Amino acid sequence: MADVKKIATRQSYGEALRDLAEEYPNLVVLDADLSNATKTGVFKKAYPDRFINCGIAESDMMGIAAGLSTTGLIPFASTFAMFATGRAYEQVRNSIGYPHLNVKIGATHAGISVGEDGASHQCLEDLALMRMIPGMVVMCPADDTEARMAVKAALDYVGPVYIRFGRAAVPVVFGDDYKFEIGKGAILREGTDVTVVANGLCVASALEAADKLAAEGISAEVINICTIKPLDDDLIIASAKKTGKVVTAEEHSIVGGLGGAVAECLSEKCPTPLYRIGVRDRFGESGPAGELLKKYKLDGQGVYEQIKEFVAK
């Protein structure tokens, strides 16, 4: 995929906030001293009066966002996924989730593609943590196009939303004609032998893997699931019935994220052999993002190998 355009979804996030600011005059953006990294600095530069720097105090930031929302504003609270969902978990649960306030959490630097910073900053649990909160919409866009659309969809939706963005540049998968809807997955490639349900940067990996598998006569159906909650059960079940084998692929712990959500759905409604590709219940480590994705078998080659092994069983 050498010629494919690559953009980090955190960049898409910052630009989407800026580009939507005119259309959504109630939009305000909060950060916790990371606006350069989360790219909310792009918004701050254009709309300084609508940007609130809370300092290095993520728990406080979530409460401030809750308070702002009760006055009619639509706050996007931004920091790294580790701090948004880990450090401030209880604030998100009790001050945003429980009162079901119209707060959006834009969390960047999720997953091992954070790279050199290492395990302390590589959040592999955020989707699981957010998915447990009643009423919380949880999204993990695959590319630049979907990230921008997810931000707009979150603004149109009334209620708490968590969106996960990445640090590393990832291939642009979708064209401008892509139709995005909260809670709806998309079949990106039809197949008959195995279903691959992916999100985030693993969508590009899954598509690459499907090409390799096709060359060996294995027909993989690739489904993009940006919204982990509410999950598009119908789409996943229909595909599982067709192929009889399901693989999930995500840059997250195999516990509780997309793999967990799909496992819950299938085991209850349509028991199907399942293999979860992800970080296998361990912490990450330092290294360049590309090398780590390779090491943890989340790149195209790694996803391909794991699907092939599972299908052969």
Partner 1 sequence: MNNNELRYFANEVRKSIIIGTHSAKAGHPGGSLSAADIFTFLYFEEMHIDPLNPTMPDRDRFVLSKGQTAPGLYGVMAERGYFPKEEIPTLRHTGARLQGHPSMQYLPGIDMSSGSLGQGISVACGMAKGAKIQNKDFRVYTLLGDGELEEGQVWEAAMFAGAKKLDNLVVIVDNNNLQIDGTITEVNNPYPIDKKFEAFNFHVINIDGNDFDQIRAAFKEARATKGMPTAIIAKTVKGKGVSFMENNVNWHGVAPNDEQFEIAMKDLERIGEEIG
Which sequence positions are flagged as catalytic?
58
Q: How far apart are the first and last CA of the chain?
A: 29
Give per-residue burial for 1-37: e unless 16+ CB within 10 Å, then b.
Answer: eeeeeebbbbbbbbbbbbbbbeeeeebbbbbbebbeb
74 binds partner 1 (CB under 8 A): no
Cβ atoms of 148 and 163 within 8 Å: the answer is: no
Beta strands in 81-160 (DSSP E): 104-108, 137-139
Q: Which is nearer to partner 1, 129 or 173 (CB)?
A: 129
Q: Which is nearer to partner 1, 87 or 294 (CB)?
A: 87
**Exposed (0-12), middle (13-18) or buried (19+): which is 130, by Cβ within 10 Å?**
buried
65 binds partner 1 (CB under 8 A): yes
Rounded CA-CA distance 80/259 in Å is: 22
Q: Which 88-127 residues touch partner 1, going by CB under 8 A?
A: 90-91, 94-95, 98-100
CB atoms closer than 10 angstroms to residue 79: 30
Query: Pairing between strand 220-224 and 186-189?
Result: antiparallel
Site map 30..59 versus partner 1, x via CB under 8 A: -------------------xx-x-xx-x-x
Applying CB under 8 A, the site for partner 1 has a residue count of: 30
The nearest distance, CB 24 to partner 1, in angstroms, is: 14
193 binds partner 1 (CB under 8 A): no
177 binds partner 1 (CB under 8 A): no
Q: Which two tokens stand for residue 254?
A: 């195999």
The nearest distance, CB 59 to partner 1, in angstroms, is: 5
Rounded CA-CA distance 141/309 in Å is: 27
67 binds partner 1 (CB under 8 A): yes
301 binds partner 1 (CB under 8 A): no
Q: Which is nearer to partner 1, 67 or 273 (CB)?
A: 67
Q: Which 217-256 residues touch partner 1, going by CB under 8 A?
A: none
Q: Which is nearer to partner 1, 61 or 198 (CB)?
A: 61
Backbone angles phi, psi at 141, to 5 degrees: -65, 150
29 binds partner 1 (CB under 8 A): no
Where do contacts with partner 1 occur on this chain (CB under 8 A)? 28, 49-50, 52, 54-55, 57, 59-73, 75, 90-91, 94-95, 98-100
